[in-house]
Amino acid sequence: MSTLKDYAKRAKDRMKNGFWEQAHQNIQTEQQVAATLGLNTRKVGEESRRMLERQIYDYNGFCEEQEFYAKVVEILESDELVSNPIMRLADREYMSRLDPAERQSYISKLASKYRAAVEKYRTLHH
């Protein structure tokens, strides 16, 4: 299937399945929860909208981001002591094909993504 057909199929599925109504309800709920926790409701709403945009316009990237976050949550909630979470998240096969400078850059980007995911987790769970 071509990319245009993929986009059209996803848009049709969103319309059929009540995606927009659910998205609107989710944003309202998140803002209400944020208000009860004393958080900035406008920022929470904006973040929810950005995630929604990413889900629609960069579906593959959104899915990869969600999978990464799920792995980070698994590490954080595990009873096991994880001494090097970055290397647990790294794609070792991909890293084996990189030269040392590229490997360092990859690990640095991965560490940055990990820190952002941990911060998101702490914000949502504490």
Looking at residues 31-51, what average pLDDT do you find?
84
Q: Are 7 and 59 contacting, i.e. CB atoms less than 8 angstroms apart?
A: no
Distances (CA, A) of 104 to 85, 99, 110, 118: 16, 9, 10, 21
pLDDT, residue 126, reads 63
Q: With H, G, I as helix, E, B as strand and everything else as coil, classify residue 17.
A: coil
Rounded CA separation 68/116 (Å):
11
Looking at residues 50-54, what average pLDDT do you find?
84
Strands (E), 22-115: none
Q: What angle do CA 117, 118, 119 make, to 5 degrees?
A: 90
pTM: 0.62
Could you tell me what percent of the chain has a pLDDT over 90?
36
The yes-or-no verdict on residue 93 having pLDDT over 90 is yes
